[in-house]
Amino acid sequence: MADSHQMLLISFTDRDAGRSAYEEALGLPGLRQAALVERSAEGLLDVPESHVRGAGRATAGGGLVGGLLGLLGGPMGVFLGTAAGAALGGAAENRQALEGGAGLIVLSSRVDEGASLLIVELHESSPEPGDDLAERHGGTLERMPAKEFAARVRSAEKAAGEPRPPS
C-alpha cells in the first residue's frame, strides 16, 4: 500500500478502552492529529484528549522570521516584525483549529451515550498498525480517505450556512 492520507474512526462502547487506545495512537507512524470524543450517559459530548503534531510551529516560526526581517529596522523593527509574524502564524493555526472543530461536530452524531470515538488523521504506509490498535482495544474501525472526510465537512458547513425556508 502506498503512503495515503487517511482518517481512522475507531468506535468504542467502553470509554476506558477509548482512552487507552488514544494514548497508544499517539505513537502511530505518520500521525498528524488525534482526538477522543466521548458522550456521557446523560448525552453530553466531551473532547477530553486531543493532539496536533507540530502545534505552535507556525506561530513561533512566523515570529522568528518576522523578527529576523525586522533586524533591518532596528530594535523597533524587530519588535514589530516579531509581532506581525507571530500574528500571521497564529491566524493560520486558528484556521486549522476551526476546521478540526467542524470535523468533530460532523462526527459527534456517531458517538452513542456512554461510548467514545477515537479520530486519528495520519499518513498510512500500511493498514496494520491502525487495524492492530482497534483490535487490541476492542474498537470498530472505519477508514476514510482524508480528502473524502474534508469534503463531507465542507458539505455540512455549507448546509449549515444556508438559510432555512420559512415553516
Rounded CA separation 32/51 (Å): 8
Q: What is the pLDDT of residues 65-75, one digit of tens each?
A: 555 555 556 66
pTM of structure: 0.65
CA 103-149-10 angle, to 5 degrees, is 75
b/e string for 53-90 if b means 16 or more Cβ within 10 A? eeeeebbebbbebbbebbeeeeeeebeebbebbbebbb
Lowest mean pLDDT among 40-44, 82-86, 107-111, 139-143: 82-86
* More confident site: 151 or 69: 151
Task: Kindly state the cell numbers that stand for 25.
Answer: 495512537
